[in-house]
Structure 1
Amino acid sequence: MYEQSAVTVVGLGPMGRALARACLDAGLRTTVWNRTPGRDDELVERGAIRARSAEEAVSASDLTVVCVVNYDAADAVLRRDAVIEALKGRTVVNLTADTPERARDTASWAAEHGIRYLDGAIMTPVVTIGTPDAVFIHSGPQDLFRKHLPVLEKLGGTHTHLGEDIGRAAAHDIALLDIFWTAMTGYAHALAVAKAEGITARELAPFAKGIGEILPPIFEEFADEADSGNFSGEDNPITSAASSMAHIIHTSEAHGIDAGVMRAAEGLARRVIGMGHGEDGLIRVTELLGRR
């Protein structure tokens, strides 16, 4: 396997600093650069090399790991003449979160300029970086992924190659973040309703955790139904779900709490029922949403 002893990390927000620390802890010669000065002080004290410019940073290693807020920020760094020239023949692993379309566009740009490119996403919090609990997903040329896997593994956790289509990592990321942020918004709404009913967040939390624990087998069941098109509602038909949603809306609005998110969910359920699928399960909504 390809041996690599050097890496450059571009972008030193909380996640970028964690990535750089993991590289240093693994004994890699680590060059760092950030558009905002001062974020590299701790890393330099630990042995990182401070680059004076982005072009100097990417010139220091065959592999550059980019982790910034979005692809606009990544483009502002990478798509400059001096940086492009310095990157030719080198590899960029972009762990910046954005859309699949942006990932594919960047891959095309990189290929046009002789830059090797892998896209990826980090699916776990900052505190997991450098530990076995970190989860990374990657997409792009498999031979390039294999070449740089030894240094990527220094970031901790698991690294899964999802396929040659450069947009697959971002697509997974978007879908999984959809679950996360929808769930977090639901939890915030639940806490507001509970508070209005005199229940503290701390009182509700153990029961909320119980809800979380029943979800994994439901995810598996719904995945099978979505792929097969067999939307069984034998145990919990969508008519029952819609009734439950209506109770949440009524209680929320009685307390003056915005129920827009739940109203949208109920609206989807009612549309499915109106199409004659009231005996099917909730995941029938997937088919409705997927129609163009």
Structure 2
Amino acid sequence: MTNCTAAAPARATRAPARSKAAPAPAITSTPSERAVSAASRAASEALSYVSILLCEIVENDDFIRHFGASADLFRTADKHAANLAYGDEDDQPVEVGSAEIKALAAVIDMALESLDTAAQDSPLAAPMVVATLAQHAQELLVRIADALEASPATLAPLDALRTYAGRRPHRKQPQPPVRRMDDAPAPGYTPAQLRMVLEFVAGTTATMNRLLMMAQTCDEQWECARLVDAAQSLAQHIGGVADDAVGGSVIGNHKQWCFGQGFEELGKAGAA
């Protein structure tokens, strides 16, 4: 006889609730700084001065307003210089070598050529201010490239470019005393030329004033030194241009202001 009473299935019992695990703490890791050579680090510090000069160019409102094509090239140079001096978009240092210096110099060359063409008939002083800053940046790039060529055998030239004294023009002889105006030859400038000189002096002095104001608020000594060095370089160009306009009655011509009295001596026959 078949048992019609089927056994009831066993009731499933609920498993005890499992306690939730505490969330794992977020792992915050600071990415390690990219390794670069000692020569590259020294070159980057020297390039920060080039970056300051180019920054002054791209912040010149008169220049940006009237010379757009040249301004775009200088913006490219400014961005490249900042990348080499301060690091990439992730604040990682960039390895600086001769190729990077040459690439930056080539962009500045193109910008200067563009400016020279655009400013041929311009009465504005802005192109003269920009050209002065850019040419000084180029001079420093040549010195950095030469110093990189000497590394890694020696880092002395690069170390010198990291300091205020190392970036100043070398002067073998002290400056002469101020000469009397009566002894100066007649400069022969036209009123229009003198007006252009005064506009250049005013525009460059305004740039120098901004650099010195920035230096007053610097927390880092190295940054302050670079700003003061840039201002000192502009003062040389201002003095040289103004002195040329009055016949060199103060110190001499523009070359003597920039390179010192020894420069003329080197141009004489028999000089080494």
TM-score by length of 2: 0.24
Higher relative contact order (CA 8 A, sep 6+): 2
Instruction: Say which structure is richer in strand.
Output: 1
Instruction: Say which structure is richer in helix.
Output: 2
Flag the structure with larger Rg.
Answer: 2
TM-score by length of 1: 0.23
